[in-house]
Amino acid sequence: MTYNVNSLGDSYGYVSTPAERNKVLRNTYWLLAVSLVPTILGAWLGVATGITRSLGGGLGLVVFLGGAFGFMYAIEKTKNSGAGVPVLLAFTFFMGLMLSRMISMVLGFKNGPDLIMTAFGGTAGVFFVMASLSSVIKRDLSGMGKWLFVGAMAVMIGGIINVFVGSTAAMMAISVAVIGIFSAYMLYDLKRIVDGGETNYISATLALYLDIMNVFQGLLALLGIAGGEKE
């Protein structure tokens, strides 16, 4: 899981016009939809080739964190240039590749495909609810950022520790926390766009993509632990 580096709790201003806000939101939704294509391709490649099968334990953690934070740094550096979108899409391919190990494990269950579709549907449902709420809530939610960041850091540290401990109970608890925290982060990031606090659609897409990926992974892990049926 990767916490949302674009929402560190800083207060945001309201600097754009309604037309500019709508443009950012529209471009963000478009790029977010496009970004799912490389993610699916990366996940398919990983499952088909088994290229990430050996990336377990500490090695997988180092590869994932190094790649993810490296890509996110590159995205922030290129977000105002023509290279921003290709770098973002390369990142989403990488994320799909890293996700393939979990997907392969879930597909090992008799009801694996159903669990994946349930996690996908649940994530889509969360996004729809949060997108709807962001358009009707009038309250300034900028104060949520600091608390969400603390929560995200806590679950990330807990997740890293559990890579080495391997506790199923801890994994379930972390997954529930991830779903709750990043669902709230989704609302926070969407509200930032709606209110004009985020004016760069590449940064906005990165933030929402990370929210979606974390919710999906949390749901998939929870469903796999609680509902996986062995062959």
Residue 223, exposed/middle/buried by CB under 10 A (0-12, 13-18, 19+)?
Answer: buried
Q: What is the reported pLDDT for 178?
A: 95
Least confident range of 1-15, 115-129, 143-157: 1-15
Least confident range of 54-68, 102-116, 198-212: 54-68
Is the model's pLDDT at 60 over the cut of 90?
no
Give CA–CA dist 6/188, Å, rounded. Answer: 11
In the structure, what pLDDT confidence band is assigned to residue 229 with cuts at 50, 70 and 90? Answer: low
Tens-place pLDDT, residues 170-195: 999 999 999 999 999 999 999 999 88
Average pLDDT of 108-126? 93
From 192, 186, 231, 194, select the one nearest 210 (Cα to Cα): 186
H or E element in which residue 58 lies: helix 57-78
Q: What is the reported pLDDT for 16?
A: 62
- List Cβ neighbours of 201 (8 Å cut-off, separation of 6 or more): 24, 27, 28, 31
Q: What is the reported pLDDT for 95?
A: 95
Q: What is the reported pLDDT for 13?
A: 45
Is the model's pLDDT at 3 over the cut of 60?
no
DSSP 194-218: HHTS---HHHHHHHHHHHHHHHHHH
Query: Whole-prediction pTM value?
Result: 0.88
Average pLDDT of 154-169? 87
From 103, 132, 133, 107, select the one nearest 216 (Cα to Cα): 103
Average pLDDT of 74-84? 92
Give CA–CA dist 70/84, Å, rounded. Answer: 14
Q: List the chain domain ranges.
A: 18-227
